[in-house]
Amino acid sequence: MASIIGGLATSHVPAIGGAIHKGRQAEPYWKPFFDAYPPVQRWLGEQRPDVVVVFYNDHGLNFFLDKMPTFAVGAAPRYCNADEGWGIPTTAPLAGCEDLSWHLVESLVADEFDIVTCQEMLVDHACTLPFRLFWPQDEAPPVQIVPIAINTVLFPLPTARRVYKLGLSVGRAITRWADPRRVLVMGTGGLSHQLEGERAGFINKRFDLAFLDSMERNPEWATQFSDRELVAQAGTQGVELLNWLAMRGALSAAGSSVTTVHRNYHIPISNTAAGLLALQVA
């Protein structure tokens, strides 16, 4: 059977892609951010995952306000990136793992999640940039992926508790997948930030650090907050932390202890509180 080896979570703001493209990783503004990633890159080299299940949020490349699914699961042979208007070069297609995709689709429907199944799916910076950060030397990462998009844009948002349950369901399904491959689960986005309105530039360091602490020791901590309470605590775009919460739910379903391999918090990056977390399942 498949095994869940651990989880990763990282911020994904488009400015990161611009910095990579322009070779600015060593500049004073960017260096504290990029210096956090080599320990995780080395850990990935040791762990050698085969498949990555990615919880992320689409920014209009695949879905828009007129059609915004709460949860959408990719079931395609490959996932292409396209120009989003940020000036970031498009990346090589990401290879899909169709067998695991369909297994997850069937399992989620059996668990009464009403999902959208996408046999064609574009992926934006929320999905592509993390792979550039974790496998910087590879044009395309040496893994297959299953992307799962969570609505963090259009109200009503899924509750934190519902998202955590989604992660639990995905994690249980992975452990029942009759394939001996090693699976990594990833959540991308956040942490606290707001790009518009009276609170533009809002960052809540205290909440971010409490959330990071909860990821190892108390993964259900964030499920106490409603969607509007999360906005109040983390900002309108900070609700991307739902993707982290889904990742952590999947690790909880593995039924083993979870330990922190590496963690980093840095502010600000493009008006965003940048977080990085690597968790290992014992």
8 A C-beta contact, residue 135 and residue 141: yes
H helices within 111-264, ranges in order? Answer: 125-134, 160-175, 205-217, 227-234, 241-253
Q: Is position 193 annotated as part of the catalytic site?
A: yes
Q: Which of 103, 193, 262, 266 is catalytic?
A: 193
Q: Which of 12, 59, 103, 125 is catalytic?
A: 125
Ramachandran quadrant class, 235 (left: phi over 0; alpha: psi -120 to 50; beta: rest): left
DSSP string, 20-34: HHTT-TTSTTTHHHH
Distance CA 38, CA 156 (A): 38
8 A C-beta contact, residue 14 and residue 88: yes
Which amino acid type is present at position 53? V
Q: Is position 266 annotated as part of the catalytic site?
A: no
Q: Which two tokens stand for residue 180?
A: 């001996």
The phi and psi torsions of 148 (rounded to 5 degrees) equal: -125, 110
- Which of the residues are catalytic? 125, 193
